[in-house]
Every structure is written in structure tokens, then in C-alpha cells.
Amino acid sequence: MLNIYTIIFVLSVLSIWSSVLINIILVFGAIGYVSNERRNKVDLNKYDDRLPSVTIMIPAHNEGMVIKDTLERVLNLNYPRRLIQIIVINDNSSDNTGEEIGKVKANNHGRSIKVITTNEITGGKGKANALNLALGQALGEWVFVLDADAAPEANTLKFLITKSFEDKRYGAVFGRNKARNRNRNFLTKCINLELVASQRILNPGKWHIFKLGQIPGTNFIINRTILEQLGGWDPRAITEDTDLGFSLMKKGYLIAYESRAEAYQQEPEKLSVYIKQRTRWAKGNFYVVFKNLPDLFSSLDWRIKFDIVLYWLTYVWFLLFILVSDIIFLMNIGIFITRFINPNLDILNYMNLGINFNSTLSFILMYIIFVLQMNVGLASDKGQSTFENFLISCVSYFTYSQLFIWIALRAAYSYIGDVIYKRDAKWYKTERF
């Protein structure tokens, strides 16, 4: 029994320390990115004489609550109107999405808003299918994808396009997404911290050190010619964004990050909605990881292999041993309580003191790095570094973050079932509030 416990312990500690090391590297990378960003101001008018045309795609399935605001924000983008084509995909909606789109069109007679309306036969098959329908009618040199709840800042598109001029290898450029309803309740406040860590630590850290980025579901541009060469979006992928990112990198292109291109998005306000959304994300990423896993042994660019490894570590390896670490930590508490109640009762005498101490130390170190990472991100984001957010960052590891274990296991079970029974993955549409 000692050998099994020791093996599990060693693997768990190695996994945790590997995670800690990666996060420390990304924190320093993010600091370098933010430092460069503050030193180097962007001249948004630098390329005004050769700005490319852009097709803005907005897929909308039952988005009546948010589509009007999003369209109005799009119409107010600081970009030449003659260079913009707007396509809204009213994808098999059963609510008032069509009526809300019509109101915006009626109030903006001088603007061209093309609407593709589908039914249960031609649409309702997920976001990838809706975007592919729009791609068939896209005219812009670049495609700008926004979710129906997105609220881009006026200069967001200009920032993305300006970034694309830096290097011909940039096949796509993605911006920073922020929570528009972050102060609604404890859940949205935790999601906000997760977004801050992702957008101010993970993305800038990966880009600054490795020139590595991934396409998000919203607020990104991609070269239309390249997109068409890739065959558009994979309709089997329920995280069509991640899948597209890997396909793009396989063609030798980079996915650049521009944090000043900001857009606000609506986050789940109910736990049930959050779990469904994140389960879809995790399940979709399982599909993408296993689809691209053979590329680890190919001659493709190292960035692709590194990103595959990161996804694998996040959704499989780290998850497994963080779960084991949690169990060991709880067992240690149980041992302490048992010995406190009855010092002579040594039920788990095979667990020596050294292993218990090192396991607890690793757990504490991981927690400290987690809180540090959160607060470095908060410090670099105006208005986010508050005492309340600090407290939430301390509590969220034991509450919000532990949900990831359940979500990943739930997604893995569903994914394995799809593979075994050859089922088509179902695309879950996030409920709006």
C-alpha cells in the first residue's frame, strides 16, 4: 500500500510543481507584455490609407435579449463604413431575435445589415454551421467574428486590424474579452477574476514569450482567404474557435494577441447555466486535443505541439493529479482529526510524516501561486485591484475553481460516450439574462 501511495504522491507533486512553474513563467511573460504595451503606444491612424475591407459576422440563435445592443455597438465602430459588411445569422431562432434585428435596420437606413435567416432544416446546427453560411457571402478581406452578446469598444476593430499589419504571418488577431455583468453576484465576480487571469496573464504571457495565441469564440479577426483555404469552421467541433486555431497554425500562421482591442461579454449568472456552458467548452476541447494529438509526433511547428501539450496538461494530467492532491489533503486533515480525538488510533499508519508534510506544502504552494497570479492580473487592470477582488481570489480556489474538476469529469464522460456510441456532439447555447 505504501508503494502505491508513494507513486501517486510523487506524480501528484510533480504535476503540481510543473503547473506552478508554468504559471510563474507566464506571470513574468505577462509583466513583460504589459510593460511593452505601456511603452509602445499604437497609432490607430497609421494605416488609414490602406485599411482592408472587413466582414463582421454575428451568429444569433435566440439572442433577442442582447442582439440589439450588440448591433448598435457594431454600427458605432471607428472604422470606415464603406469598408464594412455586416452579416447577422438569425439561426433558427424561436424568440424575437428577428424583430430586434429589424428594429436596428429600421433606425439605420443608411447602413447595410445583411441578415441570413435559417430554419430547423437549414440551421440550428451550432455556431460553426452558422458562420460557414455567412462565410459563403462574405466579401471582406478580413472576417471579424463577434458573439451576439459582444459589446466591442469603438476602436476594437481598428486595434485588431492595425496589429495585423505588423507581420504577414499573422493569419488571425484576437482581442481581450471582459465581463459586462461582473458585479451581478458571487459567480459572475469569480468568472470576472478568471477572465482577468486569462486575458492579463495567460494570453499575454504566452504571446510575449512564445508568440503563441489561440482563437477565442468572439472578438477576433481572421484573413478571409486563409479561412476559405482551411474550409471554414469544422461543424463537428463544438469549440469551433480552438479547432480553427490549430488548423491555422498548421498552415504556418501565427495568432496574434492585442489586449487593447476590448469587447464586453455577458457571463452566466446561474450555476446551472455556467456548468452547461463550461461542460461544452471542456468537451469541445477534448475533441480538439484528441483530434490533434497525433501532431505531437509530426514535423509541424513546435508551437502547435506546445499548445497541444498545454491543453492535454490542463484537461487531463493536471486535473487528475490536482484531484488526487485534494484527496490527499483531505486525508491529512482526517488523520489530524483522528489523532487529535484518539492519539492511539493510527488507522493510516502507512502514510509517513514526510509524505504528508510535502503533500500539504505542495498544495499550499499551488494555492499561493494561484492567488498571486490572480492579483498580478488584477493589478494590471484599471479598477480591478480592489480589496473585495483580493478576498474573492482567496476564496475562489476552494469554491469556484474546484467546479472545474466536476465540469471536466462530466465533459470527459460525455465525450467518451459520444465516441463509443458514435453520437453527434450537441451544441449548447448559453442562456442570456
Residue 319 belongs to some domain of the structure = no
For the chain, the domain total comes to 1
Does a structural domain hold residue 344? no
Task: Map grid coordinates 510524516 to a residue.
Answer: 353
Determine, yes or no, domain membership for 370.
no
Domain for residue 114, yes or no?
A: yes
List the one residue out of 429, 340, 335 whose CA is nearest residue 95: 429
pTM: 0.91
- Give yes or no for residue 1 having a pLDDT over 70: no
Burial 28-54 (b: 16+ CB within 10 A, else e): ebbbebbeebeeeeeeeeeeeeebebb
Q: Give the range of the structural domain holding residue 70, as residue numbers without chain letter.
A: 42-188+213-266
CB 171 within 8 A of CB 256: no
Q: What does each C-alpha distance from 98 to 13, 89, 129 come to in angstroms?
A: 54, 10, 19
Structure confidence at residue 166 (pLDDT): 96
Arithmetic mean of pLDDT over the chain: 88
Domain for residue 55, yes or no?
yes
Residue 116: pLDDT band (50, 70, 90) is: very high
| Residue 405 falls inside a structural domain | no
Span 349-399, pLDDT tens digits: 545 555 556 666 667 777 888 898 899 999 988 889 999 999 999 999 889
The verdict on residue 246 lying in a domain is yes
Query: Does residue 425 fall inside a structural domain?
Result: no
Q: Which CATH number fits the domain that encloses residue 166?
A: 3.90.550.10
Per residue in 82-102, pLDDT (tens digit) is 999 999 999 999 999 999 999
